[in-house]
Amino acid sequence: MNSEFNNTLFQIEGICDWNLYIHKTVYPPKEDTYLLAKAILKLNKYDGCALEIGCGSGALSMLLATRGWDVKSCDVNPYAVASSRWNVKKYNLENKIAIDESGIGEGVIITDKIDLIVWNLPYLNPIKGDENMLEQIEDAAYLDIENGGWSEKLIKFLEANKISNECLVILLFRTRPESNSSPNSWKKRGWAGRKIEEQVIGDEKLEVHAFWRPGGNNKPIFIDECESTMDEAKKNNKNHWTRIITNKQTDGRGRKGNHWHSEEGDMIGTWNISKSILNKINPGIFQISVGASISNLLKIGLKWPNDLMSIDFRKMGGIIIESDSEGEYLRVGVGINKNSKIVDDKYIASGWNETLGEITNIEVFDMVDIALSSNYEEHKLLPMYNSNYMMNHSWRSLSEIISRGVKIINKYNETCRVVGLSKEGELEVLVENSILAIDSLEDLRWEYS
């Protein structure tokens, strides 16, 4: 064997057992490679075209090919290209994988024919004098860069090129210690995102995230004034991930048909979400988790089941969920105050300006849209979150308010201590020595001390 090359095993039980031939300057399969492989194996099968950036040994490109993908691979390191080509030929995958010497900003071409992009983002920080350090032919193959990292550079590259509206981007980040590349930068630029794998390795935490454009890049429907965005969403229920936003709502409704009072400039919107979500998430957990998703981004708390509350327990917003037996969609209406409201010389409601500052209802809508899309939009390649994940997600948000001195009194005038959520989304409370499940908001009185 050429002393410049080494043999490295890449094995996944029941999937592959490959003895890869790798040049010493090429990053070999390690824990992060296997973590990204686990994420790839979670994807729904699809016979489209995938691109792997920084293919290295070719292991992940080969895995994608065995899952039915036609694969385009690239790397800036010529020895990585040579290693990948050797391994692809050895395992008879040449008809499924094409490999080029290129990279982001180095000649790679991404078209609207690409359905999936995969990249194990560079994050390594080699220490001088480390005998095991790889010889660096190209720093870009191993090291992150400043100003948002390679992740931010990829976002800008994709935004500047014509890509598929349904393209899914899967990236591996190091989130502890934090690298220059961050999953948060994608959501800030209008991409929905979902974490699909994570692993702690020593002092490092690695996470694999998937990103896509909400609604297949279809824009929300903006109506300057309407009676109710819920009614407008009912009329416009033909397209995937339909969203309605209005600047002024004149006859909005809240829970149990009550009138929802809003002012011009508040955030009033409705989302059509596929009913199939209820095959994965219990309906009770679903309504709580919607509130939890929004309360997290507003930096506030959640009152069970889905009222949005300031930390000092003033209502900032509410959520209503409706559906028709014959329809395919749930209508999720969200109303959020921009400003706090004074009645009888007392602050009885809060607004997002207290936590997010002076931003517009359109900006808040975009934030909510990303949060809801990330958790509830169906993508043809991605698995959905399940009830257990959403129950834990919801409980963290509920605990934020409960831990700040909120007392709950039941219909028998007994003080209750909230201890959890049931699998059906009921509030579990401790009264004396018994745990009871509460399924009706009317059975409780909330007091803030």
Residue 435 and residue 398 in contact, taking contact as beta carbons nearer than 8 Å? no
The residue count for the chain:
449
Annotated domain spans of the chain: 5-212, 219-382
Residue type (1 letter), 356: L
Q: What is the pLDDT of residue 132?
A: 47
Name the 3-class secondary structure at 139: helix
Q: What is the pLDDT of residue 111?
A: 95
Least confident of 119-128, 205-214, 359-368, 396-405: 119-128
Who wins on pLDDT, 128 or 108?
108
What architecture is the 5-212 domain classified under in CATH? 3-Layer(aba) Sandwich (3.40)
Residue 389 and residue 396 in contact, taking contact as beta carbons nearer than 8 Å? no
For residue 381, the Cα-to-chain-centroid distance in whole angstroms is: 14
Q: What is the pLDDT of residue 136?
A: 46
Q: What is the pLDDT of residue 137?
A: 45
Q: In which residue are the tokens 């975009």 written? A: 366
Residue 401 and residue 392 in contact, taking contact as beta carbons nearer than 8 Å? no
Residue 363 has pLDDT above 90, yes or no: yes
Residues 6+ apart with CB under 8 A from 359: 352
Once rounded to an integer, what is the mean pLDDT over residues 176-183?
Answer: 93
Q: What is the pLDDT of residue 256?
A: 67
The string of pLDDT tens digits covering residues 422-440 is 999 999 998 888 898 988 8
| Structure confidence at residue 406 as a pLDDT band (50, 70, 90) | confident
Q: Are strands 444-448 and 406-410 parallel, antiparallel or unpaired?
A: antiparallel
Residue 175 and residue 206 in contact, taking contact as beta carbons nearer than 8 Å? yes
Strands (E), 202-327: 204-212, 221-226, 243-249, 267-274, 301-303, 307-309, 315-323
Who wins on pLDDT, 230 or 123?
230
The conformation of residue 389, written as its DSSP 8-state character, comes to H
Residue 366 and residue 190 in contact, taking contact as beta carbons nearer than 8 Å? yes
Mean pLDDT of the chain: 90
Could you give the CA distance from residue 216 to residue 241 in angstroms, rounded to a whole number? Answer: 8
Once rounded to an integer, what is the mean pLDDT over residues 284-293?
Answer: 96
Could you give the CA distance from residue 207 to residue 205 in angstroms, rounded to a whole number? Answer: 7
Q: What is the pLDDT of residue 347?
A: 63
Q: What percentage of the chain reaches a pLDDT higher than 90? A: 72
Helices 387-402 and 283-298: crossing angle in degrees, nearest 10, is 50
Helices 361-376 and 283-298: crossing angle in degrees, nearest 10, is 140
The string of pLDDT tens digits covering residues 115-148 is 999 999 998 654 444 444 444 444 555 688 888 9
| Structure confidence at residue 345 as a pLDDT band (50, 70, 90) | low
pTM of the model: 0.92
Could you give the CA distance from residue 58 to residue 64 in angstroms, rounded to a whole number? Answer: 10
| Structure confidence at residue 184 as a pLDDT band (50, 70, 90) | very high
In degrees, to the nearest 5, what angle opens at C-alpha 382 toward C-alphas 156 and 387?
125
Once rounded to an integer, what is the mean pLDDT over residues 306-315?
Answer: 90
Name the 3-class secondary structure at 12: strand
The string of pLDDT tens digits covering residues 34-85 is 999 999 999 998 889 999 999 999 999 999 999 999 999 999 999 999 999 9
Residue 264 and residue 252 in contact, taking contact as beta carbons nearer than 8 Å? no
Phi, psi of 329 (to 5 degrees): -125, 150
Q: In which residue are the tokens 């401790």 written? A: 430
Q: CB-based burial of residue 367 (10 Å sphere; 0-12 exposed, 13-18 middle, 19+ buried)? A: buried
Instruction: Give the class (CATH, top level) of 219-382.
Output: alpha beta
Residue 341 and residue 349 in contact, taking contact as beta carbons nearer than 8 Å? yes
